[in-house]
């Protein structure tokens, strides 16, 4: 039986200095990307995964960012929210603009694991693990988020494609990622003007969102979760999106 406290096989370890370097390293089969490692290392310790090499992207500053242009609550003129793949969850949790404008995402992030886990884990890692209980996926779906994926081209350039969050996971443990591809960011469109959370809502506010989950005990994986986003004009509800995890 595998010892769940140790890594029982040998592997190479790389810390690329640039995104191009990282994309070049992951072209070879048997190499796995690691950021926070909160899911990957558990699978390695239990013997479920034995990669030949790990490529750590957590030190790539170009993937560690939260971009909210100040118009994140302006659906007509704003660019919305973009979060880099190497951004730890705690940085999302403490961002006041995300808490105000993308409340369902904030509520999902703050209930993931422990403080120690959120200090290391990333949202990109949470969705790439493709667990049916991934807490951040339902909010990303209701907000209409897209996953930014990049790879090296044969000419040495970088190609990019975007996949809707709702289409990213194809089955438990499986995603649309092909060999040599890396998730570099997650992009969420701007929400309607006057976006708020689940408290203090008034008739004039145009949108709101929320996330709830049920689990057996604290820090356990979710048995079921639900994210909701709605838009309204006055007292008339004009759009509703619901995602179940």
Whether residue 90 lies inside any domain: the answer is: yes
Whether residue 220 lies inside any domain: the answer is: yes
Share of the chain above pLDDT 90, in %: 64
Tokens at 203, concatenated:
């008739």
Query: How many residues are recorded in the chain?
Result: 245
113 or 185, higher pLDDT: 185
In this prediction, residues 226-239 reach a mean pLDDT of: 91
The string over 177-202, giving b where at least 16 C-beta atoms fall within 10 Å of a residue's C-beta and e elsewhere, is: beebbbbbbbbbebbbbbbbbeeeee
- What does pTM read for this prediction? 0.86
Instruction: Beginning with the edge strand found earlier in the chain, give each strand of the sheet holding 224-233 in spatial order.
Output: 207-214, 224-233, 236-244
Whether residue 87 lies inside any domain: the answer is: yes
Name the residue range of residue 226's domain. 61-244
| Residue ranges of E strands in 44-164 | 53-56, 66-68, 81-84, 146-152, 158-164
CA neighbor of 166 nearest in space, from 245, 111, 110: 245
Place of tokens 């939260």: 66
Whether residue 217 lies inside any domain: the answer is: yes
Render pLDDT for 146-199 as a digit per residue (tens, 0 to 9). 999 999 998 879 999 999 999 999 999 999 999 999 999 999 999 875 544 444
Whether residue 137 lies inside any domain: the answer is: yes
In this prediction, residues 201-224 reach a mean pLDDT of: 71
For residue 236, what is the domain's CATH number? Answer: 3.30.465.10
Distance in angstroms (rounded) separating the CA atoms of residues 48 and 40:
10
Tokens at 158, concatenated:
């970088």
- Phi/psi for 211 (5° steps) reads -140, 135
**pLDDT higher than 70, residue 70:** no
Whether residue 54 lies inside any domain: the answer is: no
Domain count, the chain: 1
CA neighbor of 145 nearest in space, from 98, 93, 94, 95: 98
Whether residue 227 lies inside any domain: the answer is: yes
Count CB neighbours of 140 within 10 A: 29
User: How much of the chain is in helix, strand and coil states, percent to nearest 5?
Assistant: 20, 30, 45
Whether residue 86 lies inside any domain: the answer is: yes
pLDDT band at 28 (very low <50, low <70, confident <90, very high): confident
- Phi/psi for 75 (5° steps) reads -65, -25
Render pLDDT for 161-171 as a digit per residue (tens, 0 to 9). 999 999 999 99
pLDDT band at 204 (very low <50, low <70, confident <90, very high): low
């Amino acid at each position: 039986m595998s010892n769940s406290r140790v890594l029982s096989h040998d592997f190479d370890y790389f810390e690329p200095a640039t995104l191009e370097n990282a994309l070049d390293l992951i072209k070879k089969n048997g190499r796995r990307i690691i950021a926070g490692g909160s899911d990957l290392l558990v699978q390695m310790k239990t013997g479920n995964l034995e990669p030949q090499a790990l490529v750590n992207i957590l030190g790539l500053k170009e993937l560690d960012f939260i971009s909210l242009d100040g118009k994140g609550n302006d659906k007509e003129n704003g660019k919305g929210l973009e979060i880099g793949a190497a951004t730890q969850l705690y940085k999302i949790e403490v961002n006041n603009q995300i808490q105000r404008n993308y409340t369902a995402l904030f509520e999902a992030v703050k209930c993931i694991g422990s403080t120690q886990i959120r200090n290391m884990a990333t949202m990109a890692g949470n969705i790439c693990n493709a667990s049916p209980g991934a807490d951040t996926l339902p909010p990303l779906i209701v907000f209409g988020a897209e996953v930014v994926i990049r790879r090296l081209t044969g000419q040495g350039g970088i190609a990019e494609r975007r996949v809707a969050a709702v289409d990213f996971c194809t089955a438990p443990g499986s995603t649309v990622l092909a060999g040599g591809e890396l998730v570099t960011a997650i992009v969420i469109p701007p929400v309607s003007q006057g976006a708020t959370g689940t408290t203090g809502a008034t008739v004039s506010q145009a949108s709101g969102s929320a996330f709830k989950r049920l689990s057996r005990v604290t820090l356990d994986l979710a048995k079921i979760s639900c994210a909701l986003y709605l838009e309204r004009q006055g007292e008339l509800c004009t759009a509703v999106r619901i995602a179940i995890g």
